[in-house]
Every structure is written in structure tokens, then in C-alpha cells.
Amino acid sequence: MYYLYLLTAIALGVSYFKNRKKTIKALKMAWKKFFIILPAFLTMLILISSVLFLIPDEMILKYLGQENMGIALLFGELFGSITLMPGFIAFPLSGILLSKGGPYMVLSAFTATLMIVGVLSFPVERAYFGTKVTLIRNVLNNFVP
């Protein structure tokens, strides 16, 4: 993960030296977007953290664990299909579930259905990412194998 941070810092440095005005403008835009997303992100994070705190690990592993992979896959797909959350919340949540013992196969089913079912999350994504990015993401997730 740290190599991505390093790569980002290097790319930012190259961009800064190539065109300082554009880089500073982009950083200001990113900072504004960050503050627009922050309330929703913190709210989702608090809600998910509370639920994960209140639900015992044994119960999570009972439904999303490796005991019965078929049932776990169905529950992962079901939770992913009915849950409304953007990708910047879903991926950290999957990391938390993985650390609690959730199998990769179930977490990938959860994340895939969560990200592919874009009809429910379209208004939220459009508000944060814009219509163009949301449409491109949904088209790529639904039609590109």
C-alpha cells in the first residue's frame, strides 16, 4: 500500500514541476470535494463501525464465514445488492470483514454486487463523483467482463 502513496507523491511532484498553476488548482478542487464528501463518509463510517461493534464476530462469520460457502455467498450477494453505499465506503468495509475472517470469495461477491447494482446508488454517486464518472463506472461494471 505504501508504494501507492509513494507513486502518488512522485506523480504529484512531477505535475507540480510541469505546471504549478494546474496542480495547485487541482489540489484546491480535491480539497473542496473532500469536504463535500466528508460528512457522508463520516456518517457511514460511524454507522458501519457501530454495527460491526454491536454484532459479534461469531455472528458475522456464521453468515459470511467459510463453514457453508454457498450460503455465505448468497448472504454476501444479498447484502451487497440491498446495501446502498459508495465504493469509498465499501472497500474499507470489505477490508474490515476480511480482518474478521471473511473469505475472499464472499467478500468479492459482496463488493461486486454492491458496485454493479448502480441503480440504487446512482443518485449518491452522481452527487459525489458527477454524472459522467458515474455513468462510465456503471457501464464498465455492467458490460465489460
| pTM score over 0.85 | no
Which one, of 37, 102, 116, 46, lies nearest residue 73 by Cα? 102
CA distance 15 to 20: 7
Q: What is the DSSP string of 56-109?
A: -HHHHHHHHSSSSHHHHHHHHHHHHHH----HHHHHHHHHHHHHTT--HHHHHH
List the grid coordinates of 35. 469536504
Those residues with Cβ within 8 angstroms of residue 80's Cβ, 6 or more apart along the chain or in another chain: 109, 110, 111, 112, 113, 114, 117
Of the listed ranges 15-19, 113-117, 123-127, the one predicted with least confidence: 113-117
Domain ranges of the chain: 1-52, 55-145
Mark 111-122 as b/e (b = at least 16 C-beta within 10 Å): bebbbebbeebe
pLDDT tens column, 72-114: 888 887 777 666 666 777 788 888 888 888 888 888 888 887 7
Query: Is the pLDDT score of 13 beyond 60?
Result: yes
List the grid coordinates of 96. 474490515
What is the distance of C-alpha 20 from the center of its chain?
Answer: 31
